[in-house]
Amino acid sequence: MRQVVIALAVLTAVAVSGVSSANARTVWQSNHPRRTQVNGRLANQDARIHRERATGQITGAQAHRLHEQDHQIRQEERDMASRNGSHITRAEQAMLNHQENVTSREIGR
């Protein structure tokens, strides 16, 4: 039952965020393609963490640690963008993707 509640919460959050800002996101995405790519990966990893926690493949402590890693990457992306007129460079995107790859490998263990 708890797994169903978690899955519904994730789906609801995704649906609400997509409906409320669909037009603004499209403009933002076209102006910030590197940030969109990085943030899309973070959202995907967040859903994977929730799914694996809901199915019992990882513990609550593992999920918490993985969420903290993703949060740290997201904060770093925001910090990088704030220094460069709300954009990130290719090198910054590559560094963030490398960090996401490390976290991604930990999710599926």
pLDDT digits 0-9 by tens, 28-51: 677 788 899 999 999 999 999 999
Is-contact 52 103, C-beta < 8 A? no
Q: Is the pLDDT of residue 19 over 50?
A: no
d(CA 19, CA 57): 31
90: left (phi over 0), alpha (psi -120 to 50) or beta: alpha
Enclosing domain of residue 22: 2-107
Please state, in angstroms and rounded to a whole number, the distance separating the CA atoms of residues 71 and 17. 18
CA-CA-CA-CA torsion sign (30, 32, 34, 38): negative
Confidence at residue 22, expressed as pLDDT on a 0 to 100 scale: 55
Instruction: Encode pLDDT of 69-92 as tens digits.
Output: 999 999 999 999 999 888 899 999
Number of domains in the chain: 1
Instruction: Decide: pTM greater than 0.85.
Output: no
